Amino acid sequence: MGTLYLLPTPVGNLEDITLRALRLLKEADVVLAEDTRTTGVLLKHFDIQNSLVSHHKFNEHHTLERVLERLQGGQTVALVSDAGTPGISDPGFLLVRECIRRDIEVQCLPGATAFVPALVASGLPCERFCFEGFLPQKKGRQTRLRALADETRTMIFYESPHRLLKTLEQLSGVLGADRRAAVARELTKVHEECVRGTLAELTLHFTDQAPRGEIVLVVAGADQ
């Protein structure tokens, strides 16, 4: 049997990758990439040449058996997403689950993920938190928000820049406009920013200054 390695990749700054991850990117028999073009840039930067195979949410059900055949044949397979840790709002869970079912070894390396630095830098309590990922875009969105109304842990969301204002306004309606929150964007990049305040203040800020880039939204939990 081979081994599946889940390798975190930088969320922005290419220096945020471990030496072990670089070694495995070189040594793996094949690298599964969410977007081969994005991963190709990473490999080129570190002068790594390896075989890249596309593996993303739209084709993972179709490519799954071929990947498992490689692993059962003794190959080492590395899985990467475009940025961060595979499986965190990115492909990875399905393959990991099937490997475990078939007694194929799975190892996940520690490394970059966007929500941890956003949470710590938010100034909000981080001893207990819940990661919500992306909210449903339409169906089930209000239901999910209402279910979080009494959540006492700090809440973490991923959001796109063009939906951020809508999300801030909806959260204000459900949680209250005075709820503390922080918007972290472009983490580890040149224009990295963390804006802190109430949901109302953040709504005003991003109404005046249109948000850009990758965004993590951190929201305080309800008072216990």
Query: Which residue intervals of the chain bear CATH 3.30.950.10?
Result: 115-219
pLDDT digits (tens, 9 = 90+) for 59-68: 888 889 999 9
Q: According to the model, what pLDDT value does residue 224 have?
A: 77
Q: What is the pTM of this model?
A: 0.92
pLDDT digits (tens, 9 = 90+) for 134-191: 999 888 999 999 999 999 999 999 999 999 999 999 999 999 999 999 999 999 999 9
Query: Which residue intervals of the chain bear CATH 3.40.1010.10?
Result: 3-108
Q: According to the model, what pLDDT value does residue 182 have?
A: 98
Integer Cα distance of 145 and 149 in angstroms = 7
Integer Cα distance of 29 and 2 in angstroms = 10
β-strand pairing of 129-134 with 154-159: parallel
Give the right CATH number for 115-219 from 3.50.50.60, 3.30.950.10, 3.30.559.30, 3.40.640.10: 3.30.950.10
- Residue 26 pairs with which residues in a beta bridge? none
Q: According to the model, what pLDDT value does residue 128 have?
A: 96
**What would the CATH number be for the domain defined by 3-108?**
3.40.1010.10
User: Where do we find the tokens 């044949």?
Assistant: 73
DSSP letter, residue 1: -
| Mean predicted confidence (pLDDT) in 109-127 | 96
Q: List Cβ neighbours of 194 (8 Å cut-off, separation of 6 or more).
A: 118, 121, 122, 182, 183, 184, 185
Integer Cα distance of 219 and 199 in angstroms = 8
